Amino acid sequence: MELIASFSVDHTKIVPGIFTSRVDTLGDYKVTTYDIRMTKPNTEPAVDVAAMHTLEHIIATFLRNEPDWKDQIVYWGPMGCLTGCYLIMKGDRTPKEIHDLVLRAYKSVADADEVPGSEPVNCGNNLMHNLPMAKWYAARFAKYLEENADNEAIFVYPKSERLVTDDGRQFFDS
């Protein structure tokens, strides 16, 4: 079985931040998948699952209503490992170019007084939400993004040796 692209990033060296996971070409268009990493993998506790579910709802709602950016958003959702989220956007902007958007998205969580779309008709697990915890994680990550706005390390995956298979083939980071 081939190792898929995102698994070849050295997760032991990733710090929280905004990274380009992969850029795909679809016909005449480019689509970029960003790794919005909220916690340091395998080092600190991952995000609480109910809080992450709430962040998914609130930030998706923010991104899909943001006047200047909503037409650029393809997808927003949590990673299975609960250490961050994937944001898929049209185009191939650098992570730095979406720093302000991501920062405002996380800051918007503080203003939420309910979880949008959390009725049974809209959500597959509508009891699994935690708004106070979501606010805590969002505030912590927003503060980190603000304090590290000029820190290149939050925009570029840490360099790591490429994986080479027994027969000499290389796996490439996305």
Q: Which residues contact 103 (CB under 8 A, 6 or more apart)?
A: 142, 145, 146
The minimum distance between CB 21 and Zn ion, in angstroms, equals 23
- Work out whether 128 is an interface residue with Zn ion (CB under 5 A): no
CA distance readout (Å), 8 to 22, 42, 158, 159, 173: 12, 16, 12, 11, 6
Nearer residue to Zn ion within complex by CB, 18 or 79 = 79
Nearest distance from C-beta of residue 10 to Zn ion, angstroms:
32
Options 67-75, 119-127, 136-144, 163-171: segment touching Zn ion (CB under 5 A): 119-127
Rounded to whole angstroms, the Cα distance separating 107 from 25 reads 31
Residue window 71-110: x/- pattern of binding to Zn ion, with contact defined by CB under 5 A = ----------------------------------------
Give whichever of 21 and 54 is closer to Zn ion, judged by the CB atom.
Answer: 54
46 versus 123: smaller Cβ distance to Zn ion: 123
Sign, CA torsion 90/95/97/102: positive
Q: Does 15 bind Zn ion (CB under 5 A)?
A: no
Residue 123 within binding range of Zn ion, rule CB under 5 A: yes
Instruction: Give min distance, CB of 50 to Zn ion, in A.
Output: 10
CB of 31 to Zn ion, least distance (A): 24
Strand order of the sheet with strand 73-78? 17-26, 29-37, 84-90, 73-78
Contact indicator for 57, 129 with CB cutoff of 8 Å: yes
Number of residues that bind Zn ion (CB under 5 A): 1
Name the residues that contact Zn ion, by CB under 5 A: 123
